[in-house]
Structure 1
Amino acid sequence: MAQINPYINFKGNCEEAFNFYKSVFGGEFAFIGRYKDMPPSENGHAHEIDGEKIMHISLPISKETLLMGSDVGGEWAEYTIDGNNIQISINVDSENEATQIFNGLSAGGRINMALEKTFWGSFFGMLTDKFGINWMVSYDYNQQK
């Protein structure tokens, strides 16, 4: 079964925003990763971002929902404006399902990051569909069944 979560991009104040959301919703962060933690061979744009900035953060809102986010910078920052900084993240149960959904959603749209294996253990890609909606598709190889 697929899980859909909101994913918010920030221009440098992700940590501040998520500490605020944590004060509202409660709970603890499930994950906090910083750009300095990325392997040096990954996408070059990450090296243009302050290493202390948030690469990925997640805050459980309920058993079924995570609020997720990151700071953007480098070449991606110019495309991030208030209003288009929210993406829909869909997490699926198999690589095959990820491919099927990614290909379906990207038809007539734009692929922003090809669907591929990542250093964090996911089969992941990003796209903008033909209606201008931003999507992230992910299959986590380490998920528990």
Structure 2
Amino acid sequence: MYQVTPYLFFAGRCEEALEFYRKSFNGVVLTKQLFKDAPQVIEGADPNWVMHAEFEAFGMKLMLSDGLVAKELGGNNIALSIVLDNLDEQARLYDKLSEGGHVMMPLADTFWGARFGKVEDQFGVRWMLHCELV
């Protein structure tokens, strides 16, 4: 069995992103380690940046880091897709993720029988929210 866990990089804004996602998803931070907490000095790392964090909500798990350099932010060729089963929760989450970001596609009923919307959050992470219409 394989499990894919997204690993997101924030180049100095990881602490802020972690708190934003915790509030948006009503989730929990499982672990957070700063570079200064490592047993050895990591060359090129800001000691106050997040070296590694893990976040979980509703069975979804994300890993986050500030990374070592901004080049880790080189491209944004993916979006994280969340499948929900509650329209009210979808709307709440969509509104939270939109705060400080921008709407790419408003929440709307679609021809494939779902309510769907897409947003890029304030950290440049793209989210697609999909909820079946029953």
Q: TM-score w.r.t. structure 2 length?
A: 0.51
RMSD across aligned C-alpha pairs, in angstroms? Answer: 2.3
After TM superposition, give the deviation of residue 48 of structure 1 in Å. 1.9
Partner of 1:72: 67
Task: Give 3-state SS (helix, strand or coil) of 1:47's partner.
Answer: coil
Partner of 1:28: 28
Task: Give 3-state SS (helix, strand or coil) of 1:5's partner.
Answer: coil
Deviation string, structure 1 residues 50-106 (Cα, Å, up to 9, x no partner): 21110111111223x211110022xx43343351698xxxxxxxxxxxxxxxxxxxx
Partner of 2:16: 16
Deviation string, structure 1 residues 29-52 (Cα, Å, up to 9, x no partner): 0110111111217xxxx3322211
Is contact 1:9–1:85 with CA below 8 Å preserved after alignment?
no
Structure with bigger gyration radius: 2
Ranges of 4+ aligned residues in structure 1 off by more than 4 Å: none
**Paired letter, 2:66:** D
Percent of aligned pairs sharing the same letter = 33
Unpaired stretches in structure 2, ≥5 consecutive residues = 80-134
Unpaired stretches in structure 1, ≥5 consecutive residues = 87-145
Q: TM-score w.r.t. structure 1 length?
A: 0.47
**Paired letter, 1:18:** L
Task: Give 3-state SS (helix, strand or coil) of 2:7's partner.
Answer: strand
Change (3 A) 1:56 1:85: farther
